[in-house]
Structure 1
Amino acid sequence: MKLASLKSGRDGKLIVVSRDLSRAVSAETIAPTLQAALDDWAAKEPALVALYNDLNAGNCNGAFDFIPEDCAAPLPRAYHWADGSAYVTHVELVRKARGAELPESFWTDPLIYMGASDAFIGPRDDIEVESEDWGIDFEAEVVVITDDVPAGTSPELARNHIRLIGLVNDVSLRNLIPAELGKQFGFYQSKPWTSFTPVLATPDELGDAWDGAKLHLPLRATLNGELIGAPNAGVDMTFDFPTLIAHCAKSRALMTGTVIGSGTVSNVGSEAGSCCLAEVRCLETIANGSPSTPFMSFGDRVEIDMLDDAGNSIFGNIDQRVVQYTPPQ
């Protein structure tokens, strides 16, 4: 099943989207928003699945063309957004570029920070940034949405709490990060917007590509029409999603609608390319002593997508432009 939210108020309006992403139908009679559906998933899921099946069969009254530009993030406001750094090869590369050793604990203990869940935007919304000097970068990631996760849940049991899967562009302002991390208190100003694919999909939609813990397909990141990378999200993922969920729930429960991110998808070596410009610049620094690729500029266009084995987009693509933001006077 594929679900999306049309722009409407602050929390969107729930729609069901066809498997081929061509048609959609309102699900308001079942649940007004995706959060409402998730909050009562056991009761709402069968009706949503029935509507989805009717839509795919062409037997759905009120169906309309699906237009990604009309979509908000599937969860425009989420209760919790925890972003990991599950691909330790990415962290290792970043530290190597600046001549720093990777602590051994990074291979056994996940890195996770709590992000801004009130700053989720749609797949076609502009990336608004005040200054190019802030080092504007995209980060292509996989995310999962959970139901209620009890505190102390094991990785084995955490598998059962994954309800939906999608992709995000977790924008980073790289030149603001060092000063923030230097305070030893985490990201804030350096993490402005996170944009989502038009739809989120239930795990069964992914077939063999989803093994209950990892999504085994290339994640494509394109900048101004040039493919920057397509690393396989199921390869070199040191900490899978159940492990990340269990880590987040070590000392507290997670509420329904929690979004857990993988961090930038990355494969060992540079053959598959990169899912962020910071990694491209690290590779250049290691090879040549300094980076040559700039961060994004106003007018740049970034696209993020994942295709199935037949070459069809699974979640729809993120397609955004970077624009200059002017603060109110």
Structure 2
Amino acid sequence: MKLATLKDGSRDGQLVVVSRDLASAHYATGIAHRLQQVLDDWGYLSPQLQDLYDSLNAGRARHAFPFDPQHCLAPLPRAYQCLQASAYPHHAQLAQEAGAASVHGASTQEPLLEQLASDALQGPCEDIVAESAAMDIDAAAALAVVTGDVARASTAEQALEGVRLLMLASAVVLRGPQALERERGQGPLLSRPTTAFSPVAVTPDELGPAWAQGRVHLTVQTALNGRKLGLCEAGPDMGFHFGQLIAQACRTRALRAGSIVLAGPVSNPPVQDAQGRRDWPRGVGCLAEKRWIETLQGAKTLSPWLQSGDTLRIDMKGRDGLSLCGAIEQTVVPDGL
């Protein structure tokens, strides 16, 4: 099934069920008002939402209305916690090649987890606001899962059973000197504003065979001002699947229902010809990778970071060619820029 949260003036919004084609929706008021309620009592409430979802898709829901992502908050507007994992080793390897010291090294042994702000997560159409363009604004296309309760010391297989929902995410990063100076000595030399999420969260069964062994085998599409930035395959180059990421977080503590785990930036390695020349035919999932590639290719000027007025769009289509979670579409707006 597919779920979304509409703006209603409150912090947590109103839960709705969304049709498979994202064309219509129905309030879930008779079952639950908020998504967190459903996550807290998944076994009892999710079958009721599934029945409403089936009725909506069959055209039997009496009070359906057109679905508009512009009216959406993040599916889970505030979460108990939000973690980002370095699940794509190529991203860190590329950074190391290009001499980007502000990015942690890749590990083939265990994933690196970073705590993100989760008290006010952004909806799919909310603006990217930064104090200054000198902060070098970037946004990374990522996948995310929402968990149920997961016990401490769960195995990867046990942790994978705790995945309740899947979403797309746009993880905004401020990479410039101003941002770095503010976080000296505080772990990663990156500033992390709030993260934005797709309008719709989907249960893994909606992906069919594209959800396999804890990975999403679909293409993440990223565009900047209407021009392709990347068509990255999310599955084959994911070094650690979501079960492993969740299990890593549970090594020292349990996760509460409503925890979010991101995997990104989605990243694919280059192809190499007989002469050893490398090409990135899938593009990139963030501007940092684009600039690192340009650095390695000896470019005299690098692509700019996000600027005021730029629009970033992130989407992912299912095997049927339809958008799976709806698109994230954000505009950088002036705030001293």
TM range (shorter): over 0.9
Q: Which moved more, 1:130-139 or 1:50-59?
A: 130-139
Q: Are the counterparts in 1 of residues 5 and 74 from structure 2 also a CA contact under 8 Å? A: yes
Q: Does 1:2 align with 2:12?
A: no
Indicate yes or no: 2:65 matched with 1:64: yes
The CA deviation at 1:179 is: 3.6
What's the secondary structure of 1:315's corresponding residue? coil
The Cα of 1:195 is off from its aligned counterpart by 0.7
User: Offset of 1:107 from its aligned partner?
Assistant: 1.2
Q: CA deviation at 1:158?
A: 1.1
Partner of 2:133: 132
The amino acid that maps onto 1:307 is K
What letter corresponds to residue 165 of structure 1 in structure 2?
A: L
In the alignment, the residues of structure 2 paired with residue 110 and residue 238 of structure 1 have an alpha-carbon distance, to the nearest angstrom, of: 8
How many residue pairs get aligned? The number is 325
TM-score when normalising by structure 2: 0.92
Q: What is the root-mean-square deviation of aligned Cα atoms in Å?
A: 1.9
Q: Tell me which moved more, 311-320 or 102-111.
A: 102-111
Q: 1: CA distance between counterparts of 2:129 and 2:7? A: 18
Change (3 A) 1:172 1:105: closer
SS at match of 1:193: coil
TM-score by length of 1: 0.95
Equivalent residue for 1:298? 308
Displacement, 1:66? 0.1
Match of 2:161, SS?
Answer: helix
The aligned amino acid for 1:6 is L
2:168 aligns to what SS in structure 1?
A: strand
Shift in alpha-carbon separation, 1:24–1:119, aligned structure 2, 3 A? same
Distance change >3 Å, CA 150–CA 195, structure 1 → 2: same
Is the partner of 1:21 in helix, strand or coil? Answer: coil
TM-superposition CA deviations, 1:173-229 (whole Å, max 9, x none): 1115544664143467x1112111110000000001001400001101100011100
**1:276-296 deviations in Å (ceiling 9; x for gaps):** 000000001111166510000
Q: Which runs of 5+ in 1 are unaligned?
A: none
Conserved? CA contact 2:135–2:179, under 8 Å: no
Corresponding residue number in structure 1 for 2:281? 271
Answering whether residue 173 of structure 2 is matched by residue 163 of structure 1, we say no
**Which structure dedicates a bigger proportion of its chain to helix?**
1
Q: C-alpha displacement at 1:310, in angstroms? A: 2.9
Distance 2:5 2:100 in 1: 44
Distance 2:117 2:189 in 1: 10
Match of 2:148 in 1: 147
Q: Does residue 1:183 correspond to 2:185, yes or no?
A: yes
Cα distance change on mapping 1:260 and 1:290 into 2, 3 Å: farther
In 1, Cα distance between the equivalents of 2:117 and 2:64? 34
Unaligned runs of 5+ in 2: 271-279
Verify: 1:83 aligned to 2:84, yes or no: yes
Runs of 4+ that moved beyond 6 A = 102-105
Report what 2:114 is aligned to. 113
Distance in 2 of aligned mates of 1:187 and 1:15:
38
Q: CA deviation at 1:309?
A: 2.4
Give yes or no for the alignment of 1:312 onto 2:313: no
Distance in 2 between the 1:199 and 1:296 partners?
A: 25
Q: Deviations over 1:234-288 (max 9, x none)?
A: 0211111000000000010000000000020001111100000000000011111
Deviates more, 1:177-186 or 1:258-267: 177-186
Whole-Å separation in 1 of the counterparts to 2:235 and 2:317: 14
Q: Following the alignment from structure 1 to structure 2, what is the Cα–Cα distance between the partners of residues 96 and 69?
A: 40
- Relative to structure 1, is the Cα distance of residues 87 and 125 closer, same or farther in structure 2, using a 3 angstrom cutoff? same
Match of 1:98 in 2: 99
